[in-house]
Copies of this chain bind each other. A is one copy, B any other.
Amino acid sequence: MHSTKQRLVDEGLRMMLRQGYNSLGVQALLDAASVPKGSFYHHFADKEDFAHQVIDAYTSGVHSALDACVTDTSMPPLERIRAFFRQVEQQYRQEGYLGCLMGGLGQELSGVNDAFRAQIEQCFESIAERLQTCLDAAKTEGSISPFVDTARMSSLLVDCWEGAALRSRLTKSPAPLDAMLDYYLSSIAIQGPDSSDI
């Protein structure tokens, strides 16, 4: 990506994570990125096109991190899931616990804009599909029950994470993220002869 375009996308991601889409002014973005207005309209048709490209860049970044984790066979499958979310949590910490950009934009925009709604839902689906490969591997090795519906449970994991990310944004703390992940992983894992198959 052209370095000016990259700078705009990076700055846009930071600013929209904090303040959302509607309150973001293009001029404020240009000022923050030290880019002249002409460059913005060279790279993007308008603010909406810009936001779609920010979401695409965000999604690509998540896919890279997630693909690296889910294919890391040096760890058991459920540990790969934990490792991925630890990375995400570490990023949230660096950002000051502002939660998840997709959750924020999904809430703000999906009630009035079907293009954003579809793009953000697609992002979540693509994350769930990747997580499902870990759950399928966990099923194969026997660390979760053979009766687990891995498509449903990977989607549920994404959803519960998003709720915890919102609460993390509200409390400026990682506690909701840790609580959610601990609960999910301990409730899905077969931990011993007295464990449930849920």
Contacts and interface: CB of A to CB of B under 8 A. Distances in A.
Nearest to A96: B111
Interface string A162-189: 1111110111000010011001001100
Contacts of A156: 176, 179-180, 183
A34 interface: no
Interface residues of A, number: 48
A186 B149 CA distance: 14
Contacts of A19: 111-112
Contacts of A167: 121, 124, 155, 158-159, 162
Q: From DSSP, what is the main secondary structure of chain A's interface residues? A: helix
B159 A20 contact: no
Interface stretch (A2-10, A52-60, A82-90, A102-110): A102-110
B106 A170 contact: yes
Interface stretch (A41-49, A69-77, A131-139, A190-198): A190-198
Given A104-B108, A195-B196, 14 more contacts: A19-B111, A19-B112, A98-B111, A103-B166, A104-B107, A106-B169, A106-B170, A120-B170, A156-B179, A159-B163, A159-B164, A159-B167, A161-B163, A196-B196
